[in-house]
Amino acid sequence: MELVDSHCHLPLIESATRTVSDFVEAAHAAGVTHMLCVSVDLESFPRVAEVAAAHAGVFASVGVHPNTEIHCEEPSIARLVTASEQLKIVAIGETGLDYYRQTGDLGWQQARFRTHIRAAIDCGRPLIVHTRDAAADVIRILREEHAEQAGGVMHCFVDDWDTASAAMDLGFYISFSGIVTFKSAKALQAVARQVPAERLLVETDSPWLAPVPHRGKQNEPAFVGHTAEFLANLRGEAAAVLAQTTRSNFFNLFTAALQ
Ligand SMILES: [Zn+2]
Ligand SMILES: [Zn+2]
């Protein structure tokens, strides 16, 4: 069974004992043929781009995470568009809003989010959207900025059906991480049951959020199969079918434009 990991942070899982190449090899050995290595700031973007360039089956994005605040280079539309032209850069993000980890006046987060959406439309790349405790503002800004012109994915989705549905109306995909395998995630599991197969993606968001049975340990792309199998059971689908569907969704969203 072949799978893809639609969202991981390979440079962040590297350690003294295991390199990025080791993690990519382990993923390939587990049937995870492709993965998207997601950028969180411009300072570390060169490393993210290098990881993609150096490894078969690894693509990358460019963007600045909504929580990256102090001492970071604030992205401009031109800077993102130029970076997106590098080899194997298939998306803009991760971007979005996170009102959980930061509070107060978050106008700067919203402005940064708008910059990413405009860049994605300019360069014809899809968006990787991170949202936490901010669903209403995320959907409002996606609509105001006409994000349907870029499309994209709601990554590590944890919100309700109305949010999923509003995002899908804008042409977005819904990506589930290991969170959906947690016992406490009943409401999220109900949403995951309803998302049409042609809009479904799976991810690890590694090094965080390892799925059951690795919950609490460091996550890695090789573990995405646990989430895929859980989702298949939940939806009453064969695991091989769900694997195939999420793979073709991944290629439709991220790499169809490259061919
Ligand atoms: Zn995220
Ligand atoms: Zn992430």
Q: What is the pLDDT of residues 157-201, one digit of tens each?
A: 999 999 999 999 999 999 999 999 999 999 999 999 999 999 999
Ligand nearest to the CA of residue 95, numbered in listed order? 1
Percentage with pLDDT > 90 across the chain: 88
- Look at residues 28, 37, 71, 14 and name the one whose alpha carbon lies nearest to residue 218: 14
Domains, the chain, ranges and CATH? 3-258 (3.20.20.140)
- Look at residues 39, 33, 38 and name the one whose alpha carbon lies nearest to residue 55: 33
- Angstrom distances, CA of residue 229 to CA of 10, 17, 73, 213, 246: 22, 29, 39, 12, 12
Q: What is the pLDDT of residues 41-84, one digit of tens each?
A: 999 999 999 999 999 999 999 999 998 877 789 999 999 999 99
Compute the distance from residue 156 Cα to the ligand 1 centre, in Å: 7
- pLDDT for residue 210: 87
Compute the distance from residue 138 Cα to the ligand 1 centre, in Å: 13
Compute the distance from residue 170 Cα to the ligand 2 centre, in Å: 21
Ligand nearest to the CA of residue 156, numbered in listed order? 1
- pLDDT for residue 211: 86
Compute the distance from residue 38 Cα to the ligand 1 centre, in Å: 9
- pLDDT for residue 257: 66
Ligand nearest to the CA of residue 41, numbered in listed order? 2
Whole-model pTM above 0.85? yes
Half-sphere exposure of 121 (CA within 13 A, CB side): 12
Compute the distance from residue 88 Cα to the ligand 2 centre, in Å: 18
- pLDDT for residue 103: 81
In the chain, what's the furthest Cα-to-Cα distance? 47
- pLDDT for residue 105: 83
Specify the 3-state DSSP secondary structure of 128: strand
Q: What is the pLDDT of residues 117-136, one digit of tens each?
A: 999 999 999 999 999 999 99
Q: Across all residues in the chain, what is the average pLDDT?
A: 95
Q: Is the pLDDT of residue 24 over 80?
A: yes
Compute the distance from residue 97 Cα to the ligand 2 centre, in Å: 13
pLDDT: which is higher, 164 or 217? 164
Compute the distance from residue 67 Cα to the ligand 2 centre, in Å: 11
Phi, psi of 113 (to 5 degrees): -60, -45
Reported as a pLDDT band with limits 50, 70 and 90, residue 112 is: very high
Compute the distance from residue 17 Cα to the ligand 2 centre, in Å: 23
Average pLDDT over residues 9-38: 96
- pLDDT for residue 258: 64
Compute the distance from residue 38 Cα to the ligand 2 centre, in Å: 6
